[in-house]
Structure 1
Amino acid sequence: MERPAEFSLRPATDRPTVALTGDWTARMLGGAGAGLAETLDGLNNFIVDLTHVRRMDTAGAYAIVRAAGREFDLAKVEARPETLRLLEVVADAVKVEPEKRRDRAADRLTVRVGKGVVAFGKEFLDTMGFLGHLLVVLALSVVWLFTQPRRIRWPALVSTMERAGLDAIPVVAVTTFFIGAVVAFIGASMLRQFGAEVFAVELIGISMMREFNIVITAVLLAGRSASAFAAEIGSMKMNQEIDAMRVMGVDPFEALVLPRFVALVLTIPLLTFIATLSGLLGGIIVVWSTLDLGPAFVLQRIVDAVGPTHFWLALIKAPFMAGIIAGIGCRQGMEVGGDVESLGRRVTAAVVHAIFAIIVIDAAFALIYMELDV
């Protein structure tokens, strides 16, 4: 017959004794554990007598250990060997506290740096794999151009050239027009202090023909075409259309990446030329209105003092920037997962990475031109 868990305190002058009786099990424990904790609260140097306890399980042992708190000591417990063993196991388990996570700034910084390095390494390897596949397809496309021209997807190429090139002419022209006007206005205002207003023409010509035409065009294409490429290919990836293409034996690089890559490389020289004309037009209008220098004089001075060399130096950079923009956009699209959140992240990454690559490429060419003294 089961008996409820009970206890009694036998006070003494030297060492008080707490005597437990009954069944200290989960079923018969009741409120004895809480009462024992209240009784032992503030009591020091006491003895726990368990010799009259009939049965005990881990719930009863835990109640005794928790009630004794820091004062619990097996040396102060009188009980049968099996009871002492159970109390020892429970007491050891209670003392094992989970290791507190060190929330120090240095640790968090180290973890973030480590994760960043690993992610960068994985991203680099994936990029090299994408680049290798793209180069193989480009080499094959050159062979197909002379041997199997029908294998090249001409409709997709022409359509992409129209969307990425011709449709971008208005925004490129308007943006570079205002850039040229701003450069001319700032140059005229600053050079007027030194009586060298006429050199504003050289400033406009060099800045627009060498740097701003290609950089502004590439940045606009990065925001317009790289994001579009990533979104288009990413949508197909989400809908498993790319997997279906692979099942049917169609290479996604040949069908999706190659037309976009070639289209952007072919159209960016045209956009750069239009950006140059628009930027020069904006600068000429500002110079004409503020410095009273006629368009004929400005154009003649640009031809004599600036020359076409700066334009050709800018045009050399165009295919490299177009290839980077198209490659980054298509690669990010290929990395899209199965959810919309992944699509959004990849489209954003395509724009950010493309703009960063444009700045790096422009800086690299600036160093090369400086070494070549051109």
Structure 2
Amino acid sequence: MIEVGGTWTVFSLRGLRAKAEKALAAAGTAKAGHVVDAKGVERLDTAGAMEILQLAGGPESEIETAKKAHADLFEVVQKNMCEAPRERHESWFLQWLEEIGRNAIHMYEQGVALSAFFGEILVTFAEACISPKRFRINAVVRQMYEVWVRALVIVGVLCFLIGVVIAYQGVQQLKQFGAETFTVEAVAIGMFRELGVLLTAIIVAGRSGSAFTAQIGTMQVNQEVDAMRTIGLNPVEWLVLPRISALVLSMPLLAFWGDMTGLLGGAVACTVYLDFTFVQFFDRLRDTVGPWHFYIGMIKAPVFGMVIAVIGCFEGLQVRGSAESVGQLTTKSVVESIFCVIVLDAVFSIIFLLANV
């Protein structure tokens, strides 16, 4: 028999187990199914009862108490004591498959939620078309200033440098075949069809898409969006629609600006590396590059703008809790926007290839 007494609470257990085990070892008592005399226990809690049972050998030990409350507590602890589950050692392959499945489910749920949000935007847009007074022209103009006018410098500089790079690489490669004059077509077709609009979309996704998420997400954290709903204002109409309208209108303008600066960069490079003048560069451009190359880029631009704006606003409305959520979803919106833009660009390329345009 083991006899215990005194105070057995969570605040008095430090070092108690070591002393008790030393006393049991000195007495030569085995730890298995003991009868425990706990009549001398004055104060007891769940941690103390579990400690006594562990010293006695487990939940099968017999406990004798002087108080009914202590007996009831021991009974509850005995019923709920169990062995810790064994640690699972899963193979890396199973963990990898589990991670793929979890990500696939998350992508599916994200796609469903984004589709529902896009449908809500279409309904709100249709209602605004029926009642044009609901269009907030001032908000659209202000957003266009932010996403178009203030982005002209960075878009122009980057597209100019890309035009220089394409022209330089074209001259170096085509010179081997004596066809360096085709650098004009390489620069023009590359900028018009793909690089001008794609670079512009990536810049806009990193600049304006992230700004949309951060602005709306901060309003979510400050409960301003909830306040708008409380007073009967639709956040989609007041926050989302002006931003989408501004970006859809601004993207073709930015893409056109990027195309022109890219061509200028290519013309500068050709005047340096080839015996070309600006007049000769643009004369050859007019004679050899058809207008459809330009139209293809302009067709892509508003679609890319809508995708970036929808994803940015959607992720902003998903912000919950704290400023940390704002940062995480801002990063997520940029990654998703760039991914969707590149996928759509590939889809457009396949469609135009099949249409022989």
Structure 1: how far apart are the matches of 2:234 and 2:89? 49
Distance 1:168 1:32, change over 3 A: closer
Structure 1: how far apart are the matches of 2:36 and 2:252? 95
Are the aligned partners of 1:204 and 1:283 in contact in 2 as well (CA < 8 Å)? yes
* TM-score, normalised with respect to structure 1: 0.78
Residues 29-44 of structure 1 mapped to structure 2, 5 A cutoff: 34-38=22-26, 40=28
Q: How many residues align?
A: 323
Are the aligned partners of 1:24 and 1:61 in contact in 2 as well (CA < 8 Å)? no
Indicate whether 1:274 and 2:266 are aligned.
Answer: no
- Aligned match of 1:370: 353
Choose which of 171, 186, 191 in structure 2 pairs with 1:188: 171
Deviates more, 1:167-176 or 1:178-187: 167-176
User: Which amino acid is the alignment partner of residue 151 of structure 2?
Assistant: A
Q: 1:245, CA displacement in angstroms?
A: 1.0
Residues 1-374 of structure 1 mapped to structure 2, 5 A cutoff: 24-27=3-6, 34-38=22-26, 40=28, 55=37, 63=55, 65=57, 96-104=82-90, 105-144=92-131, 149-374=132-357
Are the aligned partners of 1:158 and 1:263 in contact in 2 as well (CA < 8 Å)? yes
User: Which amino acid is the alignment partner of residue 145 of structure 2?
Assistant: E
Structure 1: how far apart are the matches of 2:37 and 2:300? 87
Are the aligned partners of 1:33 and 1:64 in contact in 2 as well (CA < 8 Å)? no
Distance 1:25 1:178, change over 3 A: same
Structure 2: how far apart are the matches of 1:95 and 1:255? 57
Structure with the greater alpha carbon radius of gyration:
1
Cα distance per residue 1:250-299 (max 9 Å; x no partner): 11111111111011111111111111110000001101111111111211
SS in 2 for 1:24: strand
Q: 1:305, CA displacement in angstroms?
A: 1.1
Distance 1:117 1:38, change over 3 A: farther
Q: 1:33, CA displacement in angstroms?
A: 5.2
Structure 2: how far apart are the matches of 1:113 and 1:94? 37
Distance 1:178 1:250, change over 3 A: same
Distance 1:220 1:33, change over 3 A: closer
Structure 2: how far apart are the matches of 1:259 and 1:239? 21
Q: 1:336, CA displacement in angstroms?
A: 0.8
Structure 1: how far apart are the matches of 2:146 and 2:53? 77
Structure 1: how far apart are the matches of 2:21 and 2:158? 79
* TM-score, normalised with respect to structure 2: 0.81
Cα distance per residue 1:11-56 (max 9 Å; x no partner): xxxxxxxxx6xx6234599967534425649x9xxx99x9xx8946
Unaligned 5+ segments in structure 1 are 1-19, 67-72, 75-88
Structure 2: how far apart are the matches of 1:360 and 1:54? 71
Cα distance per residue 1:105-137 (max 9 Å; x no partner): 345334433432332233222212211101111
SS in 2 for 1:25: strand
Cα distance per residue 1:317-368 (max 9 Å; x no partner): 1111000010011111111112000000111111111111110010000010
Are the aligned partners of 1:269 and 1:318 in contact in 2 as well (CA < 8 Å)? yes
Deviates more, 1:326-335 or 1:106-115: 106-115
Cα distance per residue 1:143-171 (max 9 Å; x no partner): 22xxxx33211110111111111111111
Are the aligned partners of 2:311 and 2:337 in contact in 1 as well (CA < 8 Å)? yes
Q: 1:184, CA displacement in angstroms?
A: 0.2
Are the aligned partners of 1:287 and 1:293 in contact in 2 as well (CA < 8 Å)? yes
Are the aligned partners of 2:36 and 2:56 in contact in 1 as well (CA < 8 Å)? no
Unaligned 5+ segments in structure 2 are 9-15, 40-48, 62-74
User: Which amino acid is the alignment partner of residue 245 of structure 2?
Assistant: V
User: Which amino acid is the alignment partner of residue 102 of structure 1?
Assistant: R
